[in-house]
A and B are shown apart, each in its own frame.
Chain A
């Protein structure tokens, strides 16, 4: 399920790294949001320009297609930090303590492995476009910037996953139910509640998960 899972903080190096990195991720995610807003403006300009002055935005389709990679990838690490990528938590919500953190470490390592494979492959995809050449259909925009954003975003995701591995390893060593620096497994209902709050964008309701 989607939604956000809470991440606890304290003054340990792990948590500080998590918080600093989170700032960077938030900026990138906001940049993705701004790209979405710009797309809305671009489409509006295209419609109005064509309708009123017979002056469509030249290469509108090409610009949109190039923008897609930015809005699809810039926030990928932020979403992982917030626990926002869909998962099935029917099993993990029934686990507790060390066993839970071992399973979480395992799934994070699997994610890291596939992310590394994709970084390698998508870098080469970018390199081909950059060194041999590639361009968009209508107005010949170069495609390499959009192709570059994929390995770059995935690299940031890989760093985030490393941080989370560190967090889970620490959680396994120390035991307990409330480790810092990793998305906690909230039960489905509180996840949904936090998602609902995000949708409303207001904060007048009670806390999602009580903080210690």
Chain B
């Protein structure tokens, strides 16, 4: 028997494993992830079609099929939120919103033990309400908050760690590019997911803040409080930070006041912030720079989206997600244990991969499995394994898995947020930042455990709005 006939006779799970292994090999030798996934997806399609209709026809069909995917996958209304969310972050910086916010937070909560750290956490949470990307948020605050903390004699690692961790809040608190991506992959309502992220984001911020206070109290040299701001000074700095709340207000009013849909609200926010940035004197050169960077980041994300979806298309033809979820649901243990194993898998994978790439690669297989584990898409809360209805489970799992992916931004060896902070602050080495972020890793695990134990933190707002 020749190799080709052997290949043609393999079952689809074996083919799927070979192709996935091939993709991992490409990723490891440094092929850009989007193209590694697209290449593996194409080879998989070629394999499957060749087995069905012979090599020559199979090659032609596989090439034609692969060629439909890039256009088809990006032409989706909901994905238009991603460039908008990225643009908002760039513009907010130019509008001076970030500095103003940090200044206000400093005067209001600076008196706490580790007060500047608490101020960083809460101003980052505020900035998260207009920024859609974690890495961008960390970069901005590394520039603004770290020097102030060092000046006050804060521990270098601690200061860097707070900033790296606070950046991750941007992906839970809406707007969030990664939640949109999740919604697209699992075909859930984007609005529901964005709403669901809000409370967990706030809970994360509170847990971070509490952690900072505890750390500052137990270790004397960590962070002295900043005292002596009068109430007058406190109120005086508020107007500068107000625009953020104004923008958040506009978005909320837009959605609930019947002015626009959630998809449109992001654009309206971007428009308002653009006007602010122009008013603050942003020049054409800066606008062009912001547009170039937004376009580049957008292309990067979209390329990985369609590249991975080409691989996912192959998985569809190989029927692999169904096989995986059959295996998962067939495991002889409690669903919760299985879920925790899945999350541990994410923690390990996330050590090496970036958040978006990781979710795109894994969700098409893992998501159906988790839904099946809970009892299926149409299951009621009472009959389900996790006590959540089918729709609720997909929202709940989305928030958990995004929090998981965010946690991976601060774990070594590849932790994008930590790299960014070290990159902006030459005085902090990457190791310093990772060391400083370690307590926040513990806080994140705590947060995830809380979200698993109390799904209502995630589901309360979406329920209130009539989703689920």
Contacts and interface: CB of A to CB of B under 8 A. Distances in A.
A contacts B directly in the complex (CB < 8 Å)?
A: yes
A12 interface: no
Contact of B30 (A32, A84, A104, A198): A104
B99 to A, nearest CB: 12
A40 B93 contact: no
A90 B414 contact: yes
Contacts of B423: 189-196
A8 interface: no
A47 B39 contact: no
Interface string A105-127: 01100110111011111111100
Contact of B264 (A47, A111, A189, A196): A47
A120 B263 CA distance: 34
A87 interface: yes
Interface in A121-159: 121-125, 146-147, 150, 154
Given A29-B296, A90-B413, A103-B30, A36 B354 contact: no
A19 interface: no
Interface in B206-260: 254, 259-260
A205 B136 CA distance: 17
B30 A110 contact: no
Contact of B64 (A69, A124, A200): A124
Given A189-B430, A201-B289, A36 B84 contact: yes
B286 interface: yes
Nearest to B285: A201
Contact of B77 (A61, A73, A82, A191): A61
A25 to B, nearest CB: 10
A30 B295 CA distance: 7
B contacts with A: majority SS: helix
Nearest to A206: B426
Contact of A39 (B32, B267, B288, B303): B267
A27 to B, nearest CB: 10
A71 interface: yes
Contact of B271 (A41, A51, A205): A41
Interface in A53-107: 61, 64-69, 71-76, 78-80, 82, 84-92, 103-104, 106-107
A198 B94 CA distance: 12
A194 B97 CA distance: 22
Contacts of A205: 424
Contact of B71 (A71, A150, A197): A150
Interface stretch (B138-146, B322-330, B384-392, B453-461): B138-146
Contacts, number: 275
Interface residues of A, number: 85
B293 A201 contact: yes
A74 B295 contact: yes
A65 B75 contact: yes
A43 interface: yes
Contacts of B90: 199, 201
Contact of A92 (B30, B352, B353): B30
B154 interface: no
Interface in B52-111: 63-68, 70-71, 74-77, 79-80, 83-84, 87, 89-90, 93-94
Interface in A30-49: 30, 32-34, 36-37, 39-44, 46-47
Interface of A: 1-2, 4, 26, 29-30, 32-34, 36-37, 39-44, 46-47, 50-51, 61, 64-69, 71-76, 78-80, 82, 84-92, 103-104, 106-107, 110-111, 113-115, 117-125, 146-147, 150, 154, 188-201, 205-206
7 contacts: A33-B292, A64-B77, A79-B299, A92-B30, A117-B42, A118-B67, A201-B93
